Structure 1
Amino acid sequence: MSEVEVLKPGLYTSIQDLGRMQSAVYGVPRSGVMDSLAARKANLLLNNPPDAAVLEITMTGPQLHFHADAQIAVCGATFELKLNDRPLEGSKVYSCVTGDVLTFGGLKRGFRAYLAINGGFRSPEILHSRSQYPGITPKSRIEKGDRLPFTAATTEKNSGARVQFPETGIYKNNIEAFPGPEWDLLDVSVREQLADGSFTLLPTSNRMAIGFKEAVANNLKGITTGPVIPGTVQLTPGGNLIALMRDCQVTGGYPRVLQLSELGICTLAQKRPGEGIQFSLAIA
């Protein structure tokens, strides 16, 4: 097994795949990539399975030393990328050779990027997933000195390969959503605020949940604890909105007023703290 050595880990870089789809019954969060569209695109460029493990890179990126030949692709947020001293572009396949160093520089657009490697990163599977999560995997993110296993490239892929579709999750401010189970219990004025208002991401937002600065009126009682999934938007007794993300719990007792679509989750995942969004409601 070949390895990539972590020279610098970045702010929050973790190994993620599409998550633990069958573990909610044990109370285990799904985890997985925050922006599944970008991660799938990076894997598609390399002809990897859609659920191959990638590196999720948040806000500031890592510096990586290749100890074997590899093929890579980076999709999602736009970083300044260099392979040794050579500038790279996102959404394109590149070949690396033993000794190469890949450096993520300044973040230009978006918030999370995804580095795919031929065959995917081969960290141990736990509960049918390689996704890092505290308490489930030994580490919740990569650290300096880690050596990330992968299968060395044996044949060179088409380095000109591209996948043409819009970077929908990076530039839009409209977050696609649907009414949640408790939507009909809300006052009309609150529904209008959710449908028409703007909401600002809080700096405390993370992989578990994204909170918003603006409060809305809440005349609802708490609900009997029920299931929640990534994309569930809860309304707290104090009127705060919380959009649950990939590392969220599996049950909750706050009213579930909205449910983000998969596209909505990916779009929100690419927003930085302090940026504003609007919910784009699909109501039958």
Structure 2
Amino acid sequence: MIKILKHGFYSTIQDLGRFGFQEFGVPYSGAMDVQALKLANALLGNDENSAVLEMTMVGAKLEFTCETLISVSGASMQPKINNKKVSAYKLLKINAGDVLSFSSPKNGFRTYLAVKGGFQTELVMNSRSMYQGLTSCHVIQNGDELSIQSYSDIDVNHYAALKVNHNYFEETELRVTKGPEFDFLSEEQQQNLMSFQFSISSNNNRMAYQLEEPLENSLEAIITAQVLPGTVQLTPSGKLIVLMRDCQTTGGYPRVLQLNATSLDLLSQKHTGKVCSFKFLD
């Protein structure tokens, strides 16, 4: 069991997501940075879909009541076990009574904590991903207890750490393909969309990232149509909205671009004021 001493700013349990229910209006959800989730689980030998703790902007403080193994990936939130610094992307041994703490990230925006065997929390529609109105809680709170499996008698010195290139936290190019309504834009609008550098507004969360700079827009709304995580919508005011993991399943704004999976991970590690631009996939 893990006791939540401090929940951080916005911490949730996530796996790869909830698939097969979009026709009923259920979002995909899942980890914002899928690659970080997979790396954390791989270090532990977990199934890649094992549930992890996703922490945003400010990390949590956790007390373990049993022995286990953990790994940390994503943004550098300076993890500590019993106030002693430990490394990310490395197998770490936890003893009963140990306290794991995090702070604000030095780079990136979201950090992932994986435990051996995955978090054994509520399973809804084949996923443990928290989502408001669907799971019994949508964020962890102080005093919560999260169920995990106990593991002991494993020598972590026999396991290697991973070296990860953290330059992707600073990467600004988002790779995209044309959205269904891209060709409805004028040539000038298309050129501006693909040449401007946009900054992330304060309106960013697990549902969507709104970009600050407007793009001249003369397009009319479309009939409600399917959207996906990574869909870039153009609003009547000219604002661009990039849909993220908890996005709705349909929308009525023109879909001008579609991010690939890697760029969606990259964007999830950016926060207000960071910049980005779009580039077509080769």
**TM-score range with shorter-chain normalisation?**
over 0.9
Instruction: Work out whether 1:101 is the aligned partner of 2:99.
Output: yes
Alignment-derived partner of residue 41 in structure 2: 43
Counting matched residue pairs gives: 281
- Mark the runs of 5 or more structure 2 residues left unpaired by the alignment: none
The secondary structure found in structure 1 opposite 2:103 is: strand
Instruction: Work out whether 1:153 is the aligned partner of 2:144.
Output: no
Provide the identity percentage.
Answer: 41
Instruction: Work out whether 1:7 is the aligned partner of 2:5.
Output: yes
The separation in 1 between residues aligned to 2:260 and 2:124, in whole angstroms, is 27
The separation in 2 between residues aligned to 1:46 and 1:240, in whole angstroms, is 42
Alignment-derived partner of residue 133 in structure 1: 131
The separation in 2 between residues aligned to 1:223 and 1:155, in whole angstroms, is 59
Alignment-derived partner of residue 239 in structure 1: 238
| 1:57-106 deviation line (CA, Å, top 9, x unaligned) | 10000000000001111101011211002101111110000000001023
Is the 1:35–1:169 Cα contact (8 Å) retained in structure 2?
Answer: no
The secondary structure found in structure 2 opposite 1:106 is: coil
Amino acid at match of 1:15: I
The secondary structure found in structure 2 opposite 1:184 is: helix
The separation in 2 between residues aligned to 1:168 and 1:208, in whole angstroms, is 25
Instruction: Work out whether 1:174 is the aligned partner of 2:173.
Output: yes
| 1:146-204 deviation line (CA, Å, top 9, x unaligned) | 00001111442644422345346422111111111111111111111111111111112
The separation in 2 between residues aligned to 1:240 and 1:129, in whole angstroms, is 33
Is the 1:168–1:267 Cα contact (8 Å) retained in structure 2?
Answer: no
Amino acid at match of 1:23: F
The secondary structure found in structure 1 opposite 2:223 is: coil
Is the 1:46–1:157 Cα contact (8 Å) retained in structure 2?
Answer: no
The secondary structure found in structure 1 opposite 2:188 is: helix
The separation in 2 between residues aligned to 1:5 and 1:57, in whole angstroms, is 15
Structure-to-structure mapping, 1:186-197, within 5 angstroms: 186-197=185-196
Amino acid at match of 1:6: I
Quick one: which of 85, 107, 114 aligns to 1:87?
Answer: 85
Q: TM-score, normalised by structure 2?
A: 0.97
Alignment-derived partner of residue 221 in structure 1: 220
The separation in 1 between residues aligned to 2:153 and 2:127, in whole angstroms, is 27
Is the 2:93–2:156 Cα contact (8 Å) retained in structure 1?
Answer: no
The secondary structure found in structure 1 opposite 2:42 is: helix
Q: TM-score, normalised by structure 1?
A: 0.96
The separation in 2 between residues aligned to 1:157 and 1:209, in whole angstroms, is 42
Instruction: Work out whether 1:69 is the aligned partner of 2:92.
Output: no
RMSD: 1.2
The separation in 1 between residues aligned to 2:275 and 2:227, in whole angstroms, is 24
CA change 1:24–1:43 in 2 (3 A) is same
Amino acid at match of 2:264: I
Quick one: which of 8, 15, 18 aligns to 1:17?
Answer: 15
